[in-house]
Amino acid sequence: MSFKLFKFHPTIEAAVQALGYEEPTPIQSQCIPLILQGHDVMGMAQTGTGKTAAFGLPILQKLMEGPRKRVRALIVAPTRELAEQIHEAIDQLGRKTKLKSVTVYGGVKQNPQVRKLQEGAEIVVACPGRLLDLMDQGVIDLSHMEVLVLDEADRMFDMGFMPDVRKILKRIPAKRQTLLFSATIPDEIRHLAREVLHNPVTVQVGLAAPVSTVSHALYPVEQHLKTALLSKILDRTDTDSVLVFTRTKDRATRVAKHLKKAGFPVTSLQGDLSQSQRQESLSGFRNGKYRILVATDIAARGLDISRISHVINYDMPDTVDAYTHRIGRTGRAERTGDAFTFVTREDRAFVWAIENVLGEQIERRTLEDFDYAAPLRESSGRGGRQGFGGRDRSAQANTQPMRRELSSFASAQASTGSTGGARKVTLFSTPRSRSRRARSVR
């Protein structure tokens, strides 16, 4: 199938060709005709499937006819990064159409955004909070809006934006075309879809499960040794770009600082950074200036970053869905990828939940010459942080059983003289894991 079959305006078709698009992706081939025909659509697809072009191209086609310099399409996204990414994609696809797109989000001064709106724009890509602020101030007119896109709807729900989204929905024209895209469809999103979509057509591409092109591995380790283990893995593994996920903003910053001090080309991405800092980090990671990006879950959804060969979960995510979205940053566009996850004793129930979704046991690995029995180092740092991993004093209990298990296994592997570098390891001492031990060390 060719993009020419959609019969886009020549200026749009020229942009598609200039970008090197040859054949539409599954989500594009299914959604574009439906949107061009005016249907409401509920699309289920992961990031990296070409979703932005799936709604961006037909919106541009629709806006080629009709009045200019008034907001006719509104795209609502959960994060600033995703809003910028959508805006950039639409700018590229519509570069010769003279249609203008404006981003609206918080964390930056609103005056430049207001000026661009006053100059006239046909497309607004917005985050809910700042959009409501501008609506309350009367500086954005949505009375002529024809198309509404709710992108990453499940993420907006997770981030608590649904009350704001509902307020926006009450203040925009009821007569419109509505497109809702979500990687997963929990009950809350189904309820929202029933409220805002009129006779929608549902398009589903892939399942909300970890992609089959990703290889999974677990690295059992104590919390205070995580950063040392991360450094050793990064030093020994042949990687392209690596995305490292941490649970907290502070930890992302500290891990990135340690890796930078060790000589790795690394940057970080977390919510306390200014918008310019966040854009610099993303741009540098995309263009290869930085090989490693240490981030919180802000990078787990929505961001379309290619060339990621490895995802490393420095901290275990909170849900299986979050694990799916994190590791979905690699193994994309039919490429293969690797997902490494550092696990502690406290993570065992979650490990079983992931294995249940995968339908198989995940390989346990350890590095032969890594000292899993290294003691917890005292630190003069503030807040009782200790060692590389930032372990709190209150978390020191019950570490010895795992330390003995890991150190004895590492010693056994070292004594074999193997040069494989990474081998299977028992995760923790339970009846289930002990029954697997013979298989694990064979």
User: Residue 383: which CATH number?
Assistant: 3.40.50
Quick one: how far is CA 215 from the chain centroid? Answer: 18
Q: 327: pLDDT confidence band, cut at 50, 70 and 90? A: confident
**Mean pLDDT, range 228-247, rounded to an integer:** 91
My answer on whether 161 and 238 are in the same domain is no
326 and 231, same structural domain? yes
For residues 123 and 148, membership in a common domain is answered with yes
Q: Residue 439 is encoded by which pair of tokens?
A: 């298989």
Would you say residue 36 has pLDDT above 90?
yes
Q: How far apart are CA 85 and CA 87, in angstroms?
A: 5
Q: Is residue 278 domain-resident?
A: no
37, 177: one domain:
yes
Could you tell me which residue, 413 or 215, shows the higher pLDDT?
Answer: 215
What is the number of other CB atoms lying within 10 angstroms of the CB of residue 205?
Answer: 19
Domain-embedded: residue 263:
no
pLDDT of residue 270: 86
Quote the DSSP letter at residue 299: G
Task: Judge whether 113 and 134 are in contact, CB under 8 Å.
Answer: yes
307: left (phi > 0), else alpha (psi -120 to 50), else beta? left
Pick from 104, 174, 121, 185: nearest CA to 152: 185
Instruction: List, in order, residues 6 or more apart from 28 with CB less than 8 Å away.
Output: 50, 53, 54, 57
223 plus 127 within the same structural domain: no
275 assigned to some structural domain: no
**Percentage of the chain modeled with pLDDT above 90:** 51
**421 touches 369 (CB < 8 A):** no
pLDDT given at position 83: 93
**Banded pLDDT at 159 (limits 50, 70, 90):** confident
Residues 6+ apart with CB under 8 A from 166: none
Q: Angle, nearest 10°, between helix axes 80-93 and 51-63? A: 50
Judge whether 269 lies within some domain.
Answer: no
Residue 210: is its pLDDT beyond 80? no
What percent of the chain has a predicted confidence (pLDDT) above 70?
79
Residue that terminates a domain, selected from 144, 178, 204: 204
Judge if 230 and 174 occupy the same domain. Answer: no
Say how far apart CA 296 and CA 329 lie, in whole Å.
13
> Considering the domain boundaries, does residue 64 fall inside one?
yes
Question: How many domains does the structure of the chain reveal?
Answer: 2
Residue-wise pLDDT tens digits, 168-206: 999 999 999 999 998 777 788 889 999 999 999 999 886
Q: Which of 204, 227, 256 is the last residue of a domain?
A: 204
Q: What is the CATH number of the domain that holds 10?
A: 3.40.50.300
DSSP-assigned beta bridge partners for residue 216: 339
Query: Are 135 and 225 found together in one domain?
Result: no
335 — pLDDT class (breaks 50, 70, 90): low
Q: Give 372 or 424, the one with higher predicted confidence.
A: 372
Q: Which residues pair with 123 in a beta bridge?
A: 73, 101
Assigned domain for 391 exists:
yes
**Average pLDDT value over all residues in the chain:** 82
Q: What is the mean pLDDT of residues 204-227?
A: 79
List pLDDT tens digits, range 44-73.
876 667 889 999 999 999 999 999 999 999
Residues 6+ apart with CB under 8 A from 174: none
109: phi then psi, degrees, rounded to nearest 5: -65, 140
The answer to pTM > 0.85 is: no
Asked whether residue 113 carries a pLDDT value surpassing 70, the answer given is yes
Give residue 86's pLDDT band: very low, low, confident or very high (50, 70, 90). very high
Same domain assignment for residues 225 and 148: no
Q: Which of 261 and 411 is assigned the larger pLDDT? A: 261
Is 256 or 413 the better-scoring residue by pLDDT?
256
Does 85 share its domain with 144? yes
Same domain as 148, residue 59 = yes
Q: How confident is the model at residue 16 (pLDDT cuts 50, 70, 90)?
A: very high
Are 401 and 346 within one domain? yes
Of how many residues is the chain composed? 442
Residue 364 pLDDT > 80: yes
pLDDT of residue 131: 97
Residue 423, CA distances (Å) to 220, 402, 419 in order:
11, 17, 10
Q: Is the pLDDT of residue 294 over 80?
A: yes
In a domain, 385, yes or no: yes
In a domain, 253, yes or no: no
Which range in 108-122, 211-225, 355-369, 382-396 is most confidently predicted, on average pLDDT? Answer: 108-122
Q: Are residues 218 and 136 in the same domain?
A: no
Query: Quick check: 104 and 33 in contact, CB under 8 A?
Result: no
Task: Give residue 324's pLDDT.
Answer: 79
Domain range enclosing 31: 3-204
CA 203 from centroid of its chain's CA atoms: 21
